[in-house]
Structure 1
Amino acid sequence: MEKGSAMENLEHGHSQKEIRDRLAQAPSQNYLRDWIYGGIDGVVTTFAIVSGVVGGQLSSLVILILGFANLLADGFSMAASNYLGTKSEVDQFQRYKTIEEKHIAFIPEGEKNEIKQIFQNKGLHGQTLDQVVEEITANRALWIKTMLQEEYGLPATLRFPLKSALYTFSAFLLFGIIPLIPYVLVMSNSFIWSCFFTAITFFVIGSIKSHWSTKSWLYSGFETLIIGTVTASLSYGIGLFLHYFLT
């Protein structure tokens, strides 16, 4: 009974058709890192400004001005940095691909020996090893792909730099504006509401993140909440300290 229940909870099926259909699909680019990165940083930096301004006992108008200025400027800065970082990964991939294409063209036997050593280190020997080497090196595209992954440790798929930047920027804006909502709506006890909204946002982002990890949604939610709370508390404390130190 337990085995049957566990089988039902597997992530995908293992019939011949299911395996064939799944492997026939090209690996998709995963932009979760960009989304989480932008979302968490958006909430943290915006709420840090709110906390710092409140700790410094400045007005709500200052919170709105600094908050929205940060939202746009820092969001764009993060997106631009992520674009350049992702583009560097793509450029690196293309560079190594060009190198391998040249080596295969001019010194094929040397590259063939590299393939042999790679799979020898994986435990293949004798006729099986020779057959694997022949099959891989008979297909130029597969040969290059294998070298890129095995020799340089490069991923099978690459993210598009522009998409990475857009995911980061949109997540930064979407979640970063949440700590400012109580001040935009001129709610009473705005800072308390901002703390509440921010805490919920931290927890939600962490819970969503758990779908791509082995941690439970509850653990991941509280983990993100604690990290965000520590950051915000430091900002509030610095603002409070500077207020009493400078006035």
Structure 2
Amino acid sequence: MSGRAEVHHQHRDVTGGWLRPSVFGAMDGLVSNFALIAGVAGGTTDTKVIALGGIAGLAAGAFSMAGGEYVSVASQRELALAEIAVERREIEHNPEAEQAELAQTFVERGVSPELADEVARQISANPERALEIHAQGELGVDLQSLPSPLLAAVSSFASFSVGAVLPLLPYLLGATGLLVSAIVSCVALFGAGVLVSTVTARSWWYSGLRQLLVGAVAAAVTYGLGALIGSSGL
């Protein structure tokens, strides 16, 4: 084994505002609309009714996801900005105490007290840089990478729509039964799981089968409920 240090070392972005809403939106759109269509199909054979239910599910779900993500991320961002403002005031009005606090964090990480004091002094000479370091250490916030509510909302809307249209597409193209939609949905579920595995540590087959199982169970349950309600004449 070589003792040479690694020269090039890069990581994927794990804090950006696009990945979670995009993945969650696509999965939610696919699973929820597949389950919705299966439930309606369990209660009626009228393809127009089934397609209408799928279209309504796509539209309602996409707007709901986008609105929910926007409000959620905006609230998260506003909270972070409020706490950053508190930290900024502390640096302005109590610079010595904040410098000592910063030095102590370095000591707790194994730096000698003398070196920690010097590093904290140099960093604190630039209040904006000191604010960045305090925000990262105390709040876990990167001032340059605060989440974007608009990005989260657009990502959620687009990804949900893409996921939700897949089980609906066969009906829009003239399918007369649930089988084609179920096949398309199951293939898409497995493929979506495989796609997620490319940005996680899970194997492709595990991730694919897990997502397929979740979607299939949801669709089976709603189909059963639809058949039960349909047969009861409600």
Q: Same fold (TM over 0.5)?
A: yes
- Output the amino acid matched with 1:38: G
Q: Structure 2: which 5+ residue stretches go unaligned?
A: none
- Output the amino acid matched with 1:206: G
Q: Count how many residue pairs are aligned between Structure 1 and Structure 2.
A: 230
C-alpha separation between the residues in 1 aligned to 2:215 and 2:146? 30
Counterpart pick for 1:68 among 38, 48, 55 = 55
Deviations, residues 149-176 of structure 1 (Å, cap 9, x unaligned): 2112234522221111111111111121
Deviations, residues 44-101 of structure 1 (Å, cap 9, x unaligned): 1211111111222352111111111121122111101101111112111211111111
After TM superposition, give the deviation of residue 119 of structure 1 in Å.
2.0
2:124 alignment counterpart: 137
C-alpha separation between the residues in 2 aligned to 1:227 and 1:114? 48
Show structure 1 runs of 4+ deviating over 6 A. Answer: none
After TM superposition, give the deviation of residue 219 of structure 1 in Å.
1.5
* Correspondences of 1:179-218 after superposition (within 5 Å): 179-188=167-176, 190-218=177-205
Task: Report the secondary structure of 1:74's partner residue.
Answer: helix
C-alpha separation between the residues in 1 aligned to 2:36 and 2:91? 55
- Output the amino acid matched with 2:193: G
Task: Report the secondary structure of 1:42's partner residue.
Answer: helix
- Output the amino acid matched with 2:151: K
1:176 alignment counterpart: 164
Residues 1:85 and 2:63 aligned together:
no
Deviations, residues 128-184 of structure 1 (Å, cap 9, x unaligned): 222222232222222111211211223452222111111111111112111011111
Q: Are the aligned partners of 2:77 and 2:146 in contact in 1 as well (CA < 8 Å)?
A: yes
Residues 1:230 and 2:179 aligned together:
no
Task: Tell me the percent identity.
Answer: 30
2:98 alignment counterpart: 111
C-alpha separation between the residues in 1 aligned to 2:95 and 2:113? 21
TM-score by length of 1: 0.84
Question: Which stretch has the larger CA shift, 228-237 or 133-142?
Answer: 133-142
Question: Which stretch has the larger CA shift, 233-242 or 87-96?
Answer: 233-242
Task: Report the secondary structure of 1:80's partner residue.
Answer: helix
Distance verdict in 2 for CA 1:41–1:121, change over 3 Å: same
Distance verdict in 2 for CA 1:63–1:104, change over 3 Å: same
Task: Tell me how large the CA RMSD over aligned residues is.
Answer: 2.4
C-alpha separation between the residues in 1 aligned to 2:161 and 2:61? 10
